[in-house]
Amino acid sequence: MITIAETDLVVHPLCLGGNVFGWSADEAQSHAVLDGYAGHGGNFIDTADVYSEWKDGNAGGESEKIIGAWMKARGNRNEMVIATKVAKYSKRPGLSASNIFAACEESLNRLQTDYIDLYYSHEDDANISLEETLGAYAQLIAEGKVRYIAASNFTPARLRESIKFSEDNNLPAYVAVQDLYNLVDRTGYEGEMEKAVSELGISNIPFYGIARGFLTGKYRPGINEVDSKRVEGAREYANDKNYAVLAAMDVIAKDHNASLAAVALGWLRAQPTVSVPIASARTVEQLNEIIQVIELSPTEVENLNAIS
């Protein structure tokens, strides 16, 4: 288990992504995946109010409802660490105090709980003062409705500014970021954001940890048919350089008797500013690919760094 920096949240080394629940996985499939994850000792689930509004016929909040119904049926809320987010849902956009309060109540209702362990600003809102946003979070924390706050899709400068404002004004500060980061998509995070996260003493809980499925090895030259809602996104990574990364991962996976997904997530865990990577699973079979936790040697990490 891992303790997330700046918190007392003790979590499994894999954060289970809830973005597929209510989208590519229906409630029964989602509950099967959640049961499988919990059966492996998993306790850290990531969702958002906007999941999965994008699916035809959905209204948003489907993922939270599915997770809430599962926790109620299993009676395991106190064993779980639940992260959700505010700002991107079309019905609850932005980071005004009134919106944060309303969105939080709605998320609590859907999750059938009275507190959120980790509440993210899903994106920055430059139209609202830091005083208003962080003051709203302070009130939710004081009321016991939120334990910690984090930031997703911020710029490094805005992250630094937000945390400095919190420190200067005795307000709760963001304890983590959630940014896109994986073995074949490194440039957006490595650099200024990685430096900011390191200097601030917080951590990244990265999403797209297996590059929308590309790093599972399902997408190879000459393979055209893959059963996935993310096939187009994964194919964005299909190039010779990234196929070379898969080839290097094949060797490491064989040495560890592990899946390629486990290697990809192991590489993320080896990065000094990463605490816990996020990956999602539509089926129990997919869960079994991502749940295995392996520790890569420094040489293996260096080899993957060089190739990618």
109-122 pLDDT, tens digit each: 999 999 999 999 99
> Which pLDDT score is estimated for 30?
98
Task: Record the pTM.
Answer: 0.94
> Which pLDDT score is estimated for 220?
85
250 within a domain of the structure (yes/no): no
C-alpha distances in Å from residue 296, one per residue of 152, 183, 229, 233: 27, 13, 30, 27
Domain span at residue 171 reads 2-178
38 within a domain of the structure (yes/no): yes
160 within a domain of the structure (yes/no): yes
**pLDDT tens-digit series, residues 121-160:** 999 999 999 999 999 999 999 999 999 999 999 999 999 9
C-alpha distances in Å from residue 78, one per residue of 14, 29, 75, 84, 115: 18, 23, 8, 16, 10
Other Cβ atoms less than 10 A from the Cβ of 73: the count is 12
Q: How many CA atoms lie within 13 A of 21 on its CB side?
A: 29
Q: Using CA of residue 60, residue 64, residue 93, residue 122, what is the dihedral sign? A: negative
CATH at 87: 3.20.20.100
> Which pLDDT score is estimated for 236?
86
Given a cut of 50, the residues of the chain with pLDDT beneath it are none
128 within a domain of the structure (yes/no): yes
- Which residue type does 121 have? S
Total domains present in the chain: 1
Beta-bridge partners for 81? 44
201 within a domain of the structure (yes/no): no
305 within a domain of the structure (yes/no): no
Distance from C-alpha of 148 to C-alpha of 290, rounded to nearest angstrom: 26
196 within a domain of the structure (yes/no): no
